[in-house]
Structure 1
Amino acid sequence: MTRHGKNCTAGMVYTYQERKKDARQSGYGTDQIRTSKDSVKDFDCCCLTLQPCRDPVITPDGYLYDKEAILEYIITKKNEFSRKMKQYEKEKRQEELEMEELAAAEQRSRLRRFEGQESSIISKLGAAAGAAATTATAGAGPSGDASVSNMTADKARKLPSFWIPSLTPAAKKSVIKKPDKTVLCPMSGRPLRVKDFIAVVFTPVCDPHDKTALISKRNRFMCRVTHDILGNTVPAAVLRPTGDVVTMECVEKLIRKDMRHPVTGELLTEADIIPLQMGGTGFAGTNDQLSTSGARPVMQV
Structure 2
Amino acid sequence: MTRHGKNCTAGAVYTYHEKKKDTASSGYGTQSVRLGKDAIKDFDCCCLSLQPCQDPVVTPDGYLYEKQAILEFLLHRKTEIAKKMKAYEKQKQAQKSSRQLESTSEQRQQVERFKTSENTIVSKPINPFTSGQKDGETSKSQSGSEPATSSSQSLPSFWIPSLTPEAKPTLLKKPSKAVLCPMSGRPIRMNELIAVRFTPLDPSLDRVALLNRQERYVCAVTRDVLGNSVPCAVLRPSGSVVTQECMEKLIRKDMVDPVTGDKLTDRDIIPLQRGGTGFSGSGVDLRAKEARPVMQA
Deviation at 1:7, TM superposition (A): 4.7
Q: Which amino acid aligns with 2:117?
A: Q
Aligned with 1:79: secondary structure? Answer: helix
Partner Cα distance (1:220, 1:27) in 2: 43
Matched, 1:229 2:228: no
Gapped runs of 5+ residues in structure 2? Answer: 131-148
Identity score, percent: 57
Q: Which amino acid aligns with 2:237?
A: P
Q: Which residue of 2 aligns with 1:67?
A: 67
Matched, 1:192 2:188: yes
Q: TM-score, normalised by structure 2?
A: 0.81
Give the alignment of 1:1-301 within 5 angstroms: 5-7=5-7, 9=9, 13-122=13-122, 125=124, 169-206=165-202, 213-296=209-292, 299=295
Aligned residues of 1:60 and 1:197 also touching (Cα < 8 A): yes
For this pair of structures, how many residues does the alignment match? 273
Deviation at 1:108, TM superposition (A): 1.5
Aligned residues of 1:281 and 1:287 also touching (Cα < 8 A): no
Change (3 A) 1:116 1:167: farther
Deviation at 1:210, TM superposition (A): 9.9
Q: TM-score, normalised by structure 1?
A: 0.80
Aligned with 1:246: secondary structure? Answer: strand
Aligned residues of 1:184 and 1:191 also touching (Cα < 8 A): yes
Judge which range, 50-59 or 101-110, deviates more: 101-110
Q: Which residue of 2 aligns with 1:141?
A: none
Calculate the aligned-residue CA RMSD, in Å.
3.2
After superposition, the C-alpha distances for 1:80-138 in whole angstroms (9 at most, x for unaligned) are 0110011001111111111111111111111111111111114x63876xx8xxxxxxx
Partner Cα distance (1:292, 1:73) in 2: 26
Aligned residues of 1:57 and 1:65 also touching (Cα < 8 A): yes
Q: Which amino acid aligns with 1:102?
A: E
Q: Which amino acid aligns with 1:41?
A: K
Aligned residues of 2:55 and 2:67 also touching (Cα < 8 A): yes
Aligned with 2:120: secondary structure? Answer: helix
Aligned with 1:292: secondary structure? Answer: strand
Aligned with 1:232: secondary structure? Answer: coil
Aligned residues of 2:257 and 2:263 also touching (Cα < 8 A): yes
Change (3 A) 1:86 1:285: closer
Aligned residues of 1:225 and 1:262 also touching (Cα < 8 A): yes
Judge which range, 287-296 or 181-190, deviates more: 287-296
Partner Cα distance (2:207, 2:85) in 1: 53
Aligned with 1:121: secondary structure? Answer: coil
Q: Which residue of 2 aligns with 1:145?
A: none
Partner Cα distance (2:78, 2:282) in 1: 36
Change (3 A) 1:91 1:208: closer
Partner Cα distance (2:51, 2:224) in 1: 23
Question: Which structure would you say has the larger Rg?
Answer: 1
Deviation at 1:280, TM superposition (A): 2.3
Q: Which amino acid aligns with 1:180?
A: S
Deviation at 1:173, TM superposition (A): 3.0
Gapped runs of 5+ residues in structure 1? Answer: 132-157
After superposition, the C-alpha distances for 1:17-62 in whole angstroms (9 at most, x for unaligned) are 3221111122333222111111111000000100011110001111
Change (3 A) 1:11 1:284: farther
Q: Which amino acid aligns with 1:280?
A: G
Partner Cα distance (2:216, 2:36) in 1: 21
Judge which range, 252-261 or 287-296, deviates more: 287-296
Change (3 A) 1:166 1:27: closer
Aligned residues of 1:221 and 1:229 also touching (Cα < 8 A): yes
